[in-house]
């Protein structure tokens, strides 16, 4: 069970620090962070309360999913509806009414579009303070309950990957294997974090290959990238294996990618620049003369969003915090030939890196 009271306390500390009374939050994963449901359109946090506003379509899902808070829906004038807690008027009218209840004082916002922010400022007659970055920084610091959810999500992904590997045989299609991965994750009561990637042979050279009816042949590399959500928290795991005795062809390159991953993971700890972690992999691949085939950032934060702060790439300006969970996923992609990527999830702790995924890396069938 995710510890929402910790999340609310953090938000209230932020409000107090900024001298504000109310935070208006939009964006499905931001709202999920507060109440455990992504159904509402907006949430309003004050020192006493958390109140949400849902479209009519999603309102009953909010009622059934939210772990706490008071919940309202907005209806158009003339709508006929069975709900209590219905506010008539559009979204902005309803939000304005909720904010009247939230007491006087300054307001901040997180996750609002420019358009929504402007419209709200008009409605409320005062300027809000943009706390989006601060809010996303709170979300980076995974608490023990969130780490537990991420570990469970990693276990589900590993189970699905094991099933997928067990079914590899000459003639099976990428689509069949991808179907089994999704099926396994779904039967665990989870959603996939993203549509799984299963890529055989030359398809593995596309970082974001889509599963096709391409059949597995002896001598193919097999790249699989998958994840599951537990309580909204995403796992993300990639392995590349070789099928039908082709390991020799890839051996050198496989070890180079693995070395790039290991060196990058080793330096992970609080205070290290995100860019530096990326550059550690870059330098390893440069020495191996494979840098020209590494065409993406080394990794990304992972939590309620499959891609979130902090990003590990050449442009990153942030440094790692305790509680960050990041992927470390160097890859090389030789167009028309093959690709290799190895990806794990790493928790940043004061004691250094803790790898949350534990699936074997060297796999040759």
Count the residues of the shown chain that bind a second copy, applying the rule CB under 8 A.
49
Which is closer to a second copy, CB of 54 or CB of 261?
Answer: 54
Q: Can residue 211 be called a binding residue for a second copy (CB under 8 A)?
A: yes
User: What gap in Å lies between CA 121 and CA 108, rounded to an integer?
Assistant: 11
Rule CB under 8 A: choose which of 6, 28, 47, 60 binds a second copy: 60
Residue given tokens 């009271």 in the structure block: 5
Which is closer to a second copy, CB of 178 or CB of 348?
Answer: 178
Q: Can residue 70 be called a binding residue for a second copy (CB under 8 A)?
A: no
Rule CB under 8 A: choose which of 132, 173, 349, 364 binds a second copy: 173
Q: Can residue 217 be called a binding residue for a second copy (CB under 8 A)?
A: no
Q: Do 294 and 331 touch, CB atoms closer than 8 A? A: yes
Which is closer to a second copy, CB of 140 or CB of 305?
Answer: 305
Q: Is 60 exposed, middle or buried (0-12, 13-18, 19+ CB in 10 A)?
A: middle
Which is closer to a second copy, CB of 205 or CB of 325?
Answer: 205
Which is closer to a second copy, CB of 79 or CB of 266?
Answer: 79
Q: Can residue 209 be called a binding residue for a second copy (CB under 8 A)?
A: yes
Q: Can residue 188 be called a binding residue for a second copy (CB under 8 A)?
A: yes
Which is closer to a second copy, CB of 102 or CB of 178?
Answer: 178
Q: Can residue 318 be called a binding residue for a second copy (CB under 8 A)?
A: no
Rule CB under 8 A: choose which of 1, 64, 317, 350 binds a second copy: 64
Interface map 218-257 toward a second copy (x if CB under 8 A): ----------------------------------------
Q: Can residue 67 be called a binding residue for a second copy (CB under 8 A)?
A: no
In whole angstroms, the minimum distance from the beta carbon of 354 to a second copy comes to 28
Which is closer to a second copy, CB of 163 or CB of 249?
Answer: 163
Q: Can residue 267 be called a binding residue for a second copy (CB under 8 A)?
A: no
Q: Can residue 53 be called a binding residue for a second copy (CB under 8 A)?
A: no
Q: How far is CA 284 from CA 24, 82, 213, 340, in A?
A: 45, 63, 35, 15
Interface residues with a second copy (CB under 8 A)?
A: 39, 56-61, 63-64, 76, 80-83, 114, 173, 175-176, 178-180, 182-184, 186-189, 191, 195, 205-213, 286, 291-293, 295-296, 314, 333-335
């Amino acid at each position: 069970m995710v510890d929402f009271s910790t999340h609310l306390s953090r938000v209230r500390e932020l409000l107090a620090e900024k001298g504000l009374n109310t935070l208006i939050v939009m964006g499905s994963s931001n709202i999920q962070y507060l109440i455990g449901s992504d159904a509402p359109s907006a949430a309003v946090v004050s020192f006493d309360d958390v109140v949400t506003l849902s479209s009519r379509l999603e309102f009953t899902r909010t009622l059934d999913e939210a772990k706490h808070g008071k919940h309202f829906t907005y209806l158009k004038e003339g709508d006929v509806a069975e709900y209590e807690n219905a506010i008539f008027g559009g979204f902005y009218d309803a939000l304005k009414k909720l904010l009247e209840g939230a007491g006087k004082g300054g307001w901040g916002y997180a996750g609002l579009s420019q358009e929504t922010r402007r419209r709200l400022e008009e409605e409320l007659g005062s300027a809000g303070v943009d706390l989006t970055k601060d809010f996303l920084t709170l979300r980076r610091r995974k608490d023990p309950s969130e780490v537990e959810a991420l570990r469970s999500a990693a276990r589900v992904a590993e189970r699905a990957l094991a099933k997928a590997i067990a079914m590899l045989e000459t003639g099976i299609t990428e689509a069949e294997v991808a179907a089994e991965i999704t099926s396994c994750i779904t039967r665990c009561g989870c959603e996939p974090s993203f549509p799984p990637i299963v890529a055989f042979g030359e398809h593995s050279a596309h970082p974001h290959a889509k599963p096709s009816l391409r059949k597995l042949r002896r001598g193919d590399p097999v790249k699989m990238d998958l994840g599951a959500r537990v309580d909204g928290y995403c796992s993300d795991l990639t392995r590349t294996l070789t099928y039908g005795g082709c390991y020799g062809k890839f051996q050198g390159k496989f070890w180079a990618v693995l070395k790039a991953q290991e060196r990058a993971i080793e330096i992970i700890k609080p205070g290290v620049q995100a860019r530096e972690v990326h550059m550690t992999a870059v330098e390893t691949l440069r020495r191996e003369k494979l840098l020209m085939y590494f065409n993406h950032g080394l990794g990304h934060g992972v939590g309620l969003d499959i891609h979130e702060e902090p990003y590990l790439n050449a442009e990153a300006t942030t440094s790692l915090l305790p509680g960050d969970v990041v992927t470390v996923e160097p890859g090389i992609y030789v167009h028309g030939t093959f690709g290799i990527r190895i990806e794990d999830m790493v928790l940043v702790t004061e004691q250094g890196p803790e790898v949350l995924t534990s699936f074997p890396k060297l796999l040759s069938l």
